[in-house]
Amino acid sequence: MHSRMHSHKHSRKHFRRRSLLLAAAAAPAATALPAHAAERVPAGRGPVVIGHRGAAGWRPEHTAASYTYAVQTGADWIEPDLVPTKDHALVVRHENEISQTTDVAAHPEFADRRTTKTVDGRSVTGWFTEDFTLAELRTLRAVERLPQVRNRNTVFDGRDRVLTFQEVVDLARGLSRAHGRTIAVFPETKHPTYFRALGLPLEPQLARLIRRNKLGRRECVVQSFEPTSLQRIAAERLGVPLWQALGTTGGPYDLVSAGDPTTYRDMMTPTGLARIAAYADWIGPDKSSLVDTSLLADAHAAGLRVGPYTFRAENQFLAERFRRGGGANDFGDTFAEYALYYGMGVDAVVTDFPDLAVMARRG
C-alpha cells in the first residue's frame, strides 16, 4: 500500500488533476457558521486540512519541499514552528535544538557551540538556534527528524536550507497564486517564555511580520501552547485568529513558571474553555483528548473551533483498532481514523499526511 501510494503521488498528472478537483470544490458554504469561522473553513469542503510542518510524512519537515508538497496534495494551511536566531530573525524549526533536523553536527566550525541548556524545565544537549546568526544557519541543510520511522524521507537530506518565517509567507502566497486558492500560514510560537527571558521575545517580531505582509484572517492563524503568548498577540490587535494548543499532561510552561497551578486538563473544562474563548478562536487538543469525552461539544458551546493533532499514518501513532500489519512503521487504516474524527464534527485536523486527510475528506 505504502509504495503504490508514494509512487502515485509523485505523478505530475496526478498533481494537476488534484488541483483541478480542489478548485472545483470551492462552492458556497452550505452550513451556517459564525462569521469569523466561515472565513477560515474552506467553503463546502468540510474540516480544514493543516499540513503539520508541511507534509512531514513525505518530506523532511519545515522545508520548502515539505510545504510545497502539502499544498500540491490539498492542504489548506501550512504550519511553521517559530524560533529565533541570535540576531532575532524568526526561523522555522520544530525546536531551537537543531541536531535532529539539520546537518549541524557535520560542521566542524560549529563543534564548540554544542552545549547543554534548560528549556522549559528540561535539560537539552545540542546546538541551539539562539546561538547562531541567520547567516550561519543559512550554511546548514535540513535532514529528516525521524529517520528510523521515515527512512524514505532521508533521500531528501541536505537538499533544503533553513527557512525564515518571511520565506514561508512568500512561499504560501506563491502557492496560493499557483493553485488558485488561499493558503494560510499557521505559525506556532515555540518556548516563548524561555526566549523572552533571553531577550529574544517572539511576539513583537511575529506581529511586525504579520503587519508588514498585511496578513489577514484568511491568510494567518497564530497558535501557541502558552496562553500568555497568545494574549500578547491579541494585544497587538492584528485581526488574525488565535489558536490555543493543549497538551495532555501538566500545564503550559508560562503558567508553570509563574507558579500558576492551572493544568491543560483544567483548560479543557467548560470553565477553562470559556476563559480561552475570551482571547482565542480555536483550541488544538491532542486527538486522544476527544475520545469518550465531551470536549468537542463543550468547546463548540463556548464558541471555539476544534482542530486535533497530530494525525499520522504509521501504526505506532494509531489506536490499536486502526493498526494493520506487524510493523510499528507499517501504514495502518488511517482512513478509518479520519472518518471517526470527521464524523465527530471536528473543524480541522493537523496532519503529517495532508494528502490522506484530503482523500478522506472527500469520502
Share of the chain above pLDDT 70, in %: 88
Identify the band that residue 363 occupies on the pLDDT scale cut at 50, 70 and 90: confident
Averaged confidence pLDDT in the chain:
90
pLDDT of residue 227 exceeding 60: yes
More confident residue, 289 or 28: 289
Contact (CB, 8 A) for 184 and 40: yes
* CA–CA distances in Å: residue 90 to residues 82, 162, 163, 203, 229: 6, 11, 9, 10, 15
Average pLDDT for 64-75:
98
pLDDT of residue 322 exceeding 60: yes
* pLDDT tens, residue by residue, 258-300: 999 999 999 999 999 999 999 999 999 999 999 999 999 999 9
Taking the C-alpha atoms of residue 93 and residue 62, their distance in angstroms, rounded to an integer, is 6
Strands (E), the chain: 48-51, 77-78, 81-84, 90-92, 115-119, 122-126, 184-185, 188-189, 222-224, 242-246, 282-285, 305-306, 348-351
Taking the C-alpha atoms of residue 196 and residue 200, their distance in angstroms, rounded to an integer, is 5
Residue 91 DSSP label: E
Residues in the chain: 363
Please report the pLDDT score of residue 45 as a whole number: 72
pLDDT of residue 12 exceeding 90: no
* pLDDT tens, residue by residue, 166-210: 999 999 999 999 999 999 999 999 999 999 999 999 999 999 999
